[in-house]
Structure 1
């Protein structure tokens, strides 16, 4: 059996995967040191030089091989920052070593792999968390409070839009974005689907359509500039999500389109509409247009972890009372993954798909100043 996490003691964290995203986690962990929650002790990467560079930049951290980090007695939780195709393998190895896991999104490349992760964690008595933790920030949480407070009445529908001409324009190694487990839906969709479930509740069925515009992408930056990478996934995806509440969400995720003026997320209710900020960010302006009003009104920040960043979900997980599901937990991540996988299935079959899993709306986050005070526990 795994070792339970103790919110009254610092949790020793080891990171596997030292790619571009790790810088944001390290910045958050430095800020969270005063909360007595997280103690980063080790890092590992298939490229030892990358792990050593991180260790050299962070006091008290040692660079290890992946095998050594998983075997280390002083690592309580593994932060899994590997590529999507490796998420399940690394998570399962960490769980087998008796360690809790918090991973980058998606939880796994497929729901079948993700189910193995959750089942193994349950059997081992360890906790699984998963990005995105952006839903814990003031942007999504202020919008959620507005809905819960009845400012728009009963929610009817939502639109969620993300368009970009492709990550190869800026990412020096974009290959995994265009292989199974990547693509606009599985890469960016977790932010949007997790936010929609947080705002409107679980999804019961979906219908989707998708397209694939070209077979290669050209790298636009870094040492490999000018090289082509193959495309093996759909690069423009549209889906309609039917929530258990009856609300309908329309999702557009694209690595093909250039730009949009549409809000990232817009929620429509019987008595008003909300513009919700970018779910890839932790903050942002929430705007309300109430029935009978003459213009949009910016709502004051009223909920969420203030000035937060990637990695705050790890702290939130540690503070979750035993037996409760973390806000950025494996159950929500699994549900979001099944929703996205089902949109793609529907796109390929031309038929609606029922969603077998469910996920309760995570507990709301009251307005919390993170540093130097500890993260608030789920109540």
Structure 2
């Protein structure tokens, strides 16, 4: 198969990570076009990365007859517009999260793809990293037994402490659940499968937020969404999970994710709330019934420590600046080549967005919501075969 031609829409900071990673797979894909809202910026990015054709608009990329796959790295507000247009033009699609600007848009995207026989993939792809793949391997190999449940926590004091322009994170379509939550929800889905139902509570602790970062330090912005979300998920396999996503907390010692089974517990303990499933690598801790701290009486003076699980899996970066973002798209190209489903699939991304959307509705309406969609649990990455399975 000749390399598939990729056109990129949106060339902000994250685009450099994507482009550098995609270039490593030049045998199966080639970046041929990029677009920004201004031609000069597109030209600079094209020159930086030796991309043949810079464009002044995303539609120019979509209408380029040489482009096979559109990579959409734009802001969420325009995901419906560009993702739908790409599919209507007969292009395969890989999008940054979320799949659509809203659930209705995401539904149209998936319907269009099915009608036209096109493939859709969507970030985040961090679940394909070494840590979560090792976690999945332990679950599949019955190391922690049957799944009982999980916990997921990401609590910090919002983006105004570090982002130069944090306004968008406090507007509809964002907030902690839709901004950082996709990493956590996707991780749980990739480990535990589809969700059956959900419920949530939410609150807005501050009506205005003071920007603490430069260059707008001291300005106040309006808060238009709930910023402290408590959620519960019931999975199709009977397991349950608790989530707490918050922009209102100054600090916490809670772990990022724990997975509970009948034989043991897996723990992702990272202290930094922006680590956890937002990283590809990192430590994975294990406790089994043999290490249980409360065996016997009187209590032992020393408890058995958590075991750090070794891993020789690829994609193990613990950096936010240099990482493996884009491997989900590489896997999608191999899926097209080999006639299989992509791991970071549109179906899973749609399911994730439905779960989060209905959690927010549940918080408003004080009732449980059933989840209508489902997806096929993605296959674990084979260390020897990699994407070429």
TM-score with structure 1 setting the length: 0.91
CA offsets, 1:250-287, max 9 Å, x none?
Answer: 01111111222222110111111001361111111111
Q: Structure 1 residues 63 and 218 mapped into 2: Cα distance closer, same or farther (>3 Å)?
A: farther
Matched-pair contact (CA < 8 Å) for 2:151–2:242: yes
**Which residue of structure 2 aligns with residue 22 of structure 1?**
15
Matched-pair contact (CA < 8 Å) for 2:34–2:51: no
Matched-pair contact (CA < 8 Å) for 1:304–1:365: no
1:83 maps onto 2:72 in alignment? no
Once the two structures are overlaid, the 10-residue window that deviates more, 97-106 or 42-51, is 42-51
CA offsets, 1:140-190, max 9 Å, x none?
Answer: 000000111111111111000111211122222323212221111011111
1:317 maps onto 2:332 in alignment? yes
Question: Could you tell me how far apart the structure 2 residues matched to 1:52 and 1:262 are?
Answer: 45
**Which residue of structure 1 aligns with residue 358 of structure 2?**
342
Once the two structures are overlaid, the 10-residue window that deviates more, 293-302 or 187-196, is 293-302
1:291 maps onto 2:289 in alignment? yes
Q: CA deviation at 1:95?
A: 0.9
**Which residue of structure 1 aligns with residue 278 of structure 2?**
280
Number of equivalenced pairs: 364
Q: CA deviation at 1:323?
A: 5.3
- SS in structure 1 of the partner of residue 290 of structure 2: coil
**Which residue of structure 2 aligns with residue 11 of structure 1?**
4
Matched-pair contact (CA < 8 Å) for 1:138–1:367: no
Q: Structure 1 residues 263 and 290 mapped into 2: Cα distance closer, same or farther (>3 Å)?
A: same
Match of 2:244 among 247, 252, 267: 252
Structure 2 gap ranges (5+):
270-275, 292-303, 318-322
Q: CA deviation at 1:109?
A: 2.5
Residue correspondence of structure 1 range 190-205 to structure 2 within 5 A? 190-205=182-197
Matched-pair contact (CA < 8 Å) for 1:289–1:296: yes
Matched-pair contact (CA < 8 Å) for 1:305–1:365: no
- SS in structure 2 of the partner of residue 21 of structure 1: helix
Residue correspondence of structure 1 range 48-197 to structure 2 within 5 A? 48-65=39-56, 66-197=58-189
Question: Could you tell me how far apart the structure 2 residues matched to 1:306 and 1:38 are?
Answer: 23
- SS in structure 2 of the partner of residue 292 of structure 1: helix
Question: Could you tell me how far apart the structure 1 residues matched to 2:102 and 2:46 are?
Answer: 32
- SS in structure 2 of the partner of residue 93 of structure 1: helix
CA offsets, 1:177-215, max 9 Å, x none?
Answer: 122211110111111111101111110001100111223
CA offsets, 1:104-125, max 9 Å, x none?
Answer: 1111122111000001111122
**Which residue of structure 1 aligns with residue 388 of structure 2?**
377
Question: Could you tell me how far apart the structure 1 residues matched to 2:22 and 2:252 are?
Answer: 34
Matched-pair contact (CA < 8 Å) for 2:23–2:30: no
Q: Which structure would you say has the larger Rg?
A: 2
Question: Could you tell me how far apart the structure 2 residues matched to 1:243 and 1:304 are?
Answer: 29
- SS in structure 1 of the partner of residue 132 of structure 2: helix
Across the aligned residues of Structure 1 and Structure 2, the Cα RMSD in angstroms comes to 1.9
Question: Could you tell me how far apart the structure 1 residues matched to 2:40 and 2:126 are?
Answer: 30
Q: Structure 1 residues 46 and 60 mapped into 2: Cα distance closer, same or farther (>3 Å)?
A: closer
Question: Could you tell me how far apart the structure 1 residues matched to 2:20 and 2:221 are?
Answer: 31
Once the two structures are overlaid, the 10-residue window that deviates more, 293-302 or 354-363, is 293-302
Question: Could you tell me how far apart the structure 2 residues matched to 1:88 and 1:12 are?
Answer: 22
Runs of 4+ in 1 over 6 A off after TM superposition: none
Structure 1 gap ranges (5+):
1-7, 369-373
